[in-house]
Chains A and B, each alone.
Chain A
Amino acid sequence: MEYDAVVVGSGPAGSITARFASELGAKVLIVERRAEVGVPVLCGEGVSQKIDKWNILEGSRWIANKVDGARIFSPDKTMVKIAADMAGNETGYVVYRDIFDQELARSAVKAGAKLMLKTEAKELIIEKGKMAGIKVKQLNDTFEIKADIVVGADGVESKIGKWAGINTTLKPYDIETCAQYTLTNVDCNNNYCDFYLGNKIAPGGYVWVFPKRKDEANVGIGILGSLSEKGMALKLLDKFIADHPELKKGEPVRLIAGAAPVAEPVQTVKDNLILVGDAARHVDPITGGGLTTSLEGGKIAGHTIGNAVKKQRFDKETLSTYETSWKKAFGKKLHRNYVVKEIMLDFDDKTLNMLADSVKDYNFQEFSTLSLVKALVFKHPTLLKKLAPLIKLV
């Protein structure tokens, strides 16, 4: 084989997988269909500060801003604040995702991985009934890349899993369809990541305002696919901005669209195959955020690949260490938050207002969705009774 592993996609999950596999001595190639790693950005660019503990990103070029906390606004503008001083001073960053992704790719390359741009996976190579790499198109050339393991790190629209017979098609109620402006000349004196809930504001989702600097913010919207109509996300985002004078005075320097899986994870391992990141649906179904889980899962995948290469065994059983380990690390959390998502979808605006009002003075111990969910379960054991057993599990 030319390579021990070929990773399709140079996003965070792909790069971190490549890095940790390479560090264990595996020969790894990353293929990226785009011309620049991390570009265009498809992300709200908010991430929990817990990534600091993992020591996977050097320097601070990827950080746009460290926020003081998060504020959630119910439809009647009741504010729930999770501030740094209550949460052990650990909050979150707003990042430059292009630089963020390039830093991760750089660390993969530093560990020995190879990287090809403008190289698009076209199909899987099957030899003697086994997966043996991928066929790619690079500019005008089509050629084969032989590898013992194929890693699908090809994002929300993943084809690798599908080609390998894993049903990765998202149901409309399992996807958030998103649009986002980066607005400049806005007023971000409150250094918080803000979330606005409401069935008229963002059906089945939310609007976010993430400050990148004093006068610049990512202002985006995600709405649930099953509640969406043609072009609704952008229309509702424009309306939200028009209704908020502090944002209305800004001008956009960037417009992006996106899609976030808010689903239960899929099967992530087959003989000679691993799925990571958005392709594996390693995304928090409440927030649609997938950076931390993608990095955590990718690191595990990298270790699994490294060990598989040492043993020269690439069957499902060997690679299943990855699936067992990510389930242990964050599988319960993803499942629990999927249940929370389903329960929340039944709440009308009145209920959201009531819930926000009941926890608005709550002293949150941790900067996480879990601390918020715990508070709500504590205050409303009957309303959220489906959740109680899941909270105890954690």
Chain B
Amino acid sequence: MTDLHRLSIREITEGLAQAKFSSRELTEHYLKRIEKIDAHIKSYVTVTPEQALAQADAADALRQAGNANVLTGVPIAHKDIFCTQGIKTTAGSKMLDNFISPYDATVVAKGKAAGLVTLGKVNMDEFAMGSTSENSYYGATKNPWNLGHVPGGSSGGSASAVAADLAPFATGTDTGGSIRQPASFCGLTGLKPTYGRVSRFGMIAYASSLDQGGPMARSAEDCAYLMNVMAGHDAKDSTSMDQDVDDYVANLNGTSVKGLRIGIPKQYFNVAGLDADVKARVEESLKKLEDMGATLVEIDLNMTDAYVPTYYLIAPAEASSNLQRFDGVRYGYRCENPVDLTDLYKRSRSEGFGPEVQRRILIGTYALSAGYYDAYYVKAQKVRRLIQQDFLKAFESVDVIAAPSAPMTAYKIGANLTPVEMYLGDIYTIAVNLAGLPAINAPVGFDQDNLPVGLQLIGNYWSESQLLSVVHQYQKATDWHTKRAAIAEENA
């Protein structure tokens, strides 16, 4: 069957259950596509054909024995930030180019237990620091919608692989928008869960109080299948919350759009630099939700001007601490002929880390240093509480908050934005991580250059079921999420 890659996750699970095709056939199909098409996209850092086929065969055997689960035999791509035992795990960095992980991240282990077949590890901005996937040691990943444009970041490889039908779904991570923005740039559905919903064990840390792993796929329904695998308390992650986990697939029709109160923040739609086409598509999608019975409520989010400075103090500060472990001693890159221990540390780190990573380590170190700690870091944490309170106050009168996921569509590769320009592009996503709230991107149309536009819905804590359900209802009534890039339509 040449169209196996056009199936939804539901259709894949049904096809496997009804023996219309085997996991082996499905996996071979994707591996052939990756071999032929990924040369143009560069979404994969490492493809794992032998392991994938072995996992597929094991899945088929389980199914023959009558012991298969819903997702047994379904292929997946993992963002290269998740440790995968026996498989190179690079976080997009030269620092870990030689790192074969000795253990599996909890997310990966849960995927294996569910029977998922690992196709490989996908590209990302180095240590999750970036919004374009150009900051990767392995080179820029291309946006399947236009190969001259970025897929977004840092989960750009995850987004591109799914958008080009080189994986049916993928794991991503989101610290300041790194699931939602690439999902937006590539026409996909991507969910950043509530902080603490998905285990961070084995997920290479960027900013520990902001990082969260989540699903990226073609629809809310597809994401729900993966959320059922990823979510849950993990004793190995002390920030993982012991909250009851919903059955996200069962709950897809649990929230009606009728009567849903959607908050529209005045300040968000007045941001300078909000592209006219993005604004138009987002407003059209909100009108559609209104036609479906939602109530649009104008709200104030007064802390908007504080988002970028607060995030770009806290995240680099936490990163500067987390990245101390990369010192050339126990794993990863080590410089040649170090003359002493300090030289080992300094040259291993400066040769191993790219410029954006070094930049953020420098900002973070400065913000935490003696004499500046209170003025910068503690001040930012106080403002962080005000940002959280600003959202919680809004949720007293609305059920979800709507925004674009990004002020623009996918940039050109090599556009060479300054750091400040790049950081301002994160305005709609970063506050959600500061507050720890869940948020989802849904594709809602295209700009005049046929680049995808995304709508972001932000929910209150633990409301992932509601977010997935609202997007599912929208996707039953529209077809933006079914559109495919030309390169995805190619056969292998």
Q: Do chains A and B stick together as partners?
A: no
Interface residues of B, Cβ cutoff 8 Å to A: none
Interface residues of A, Cβ cutoff 8 Å to B: none
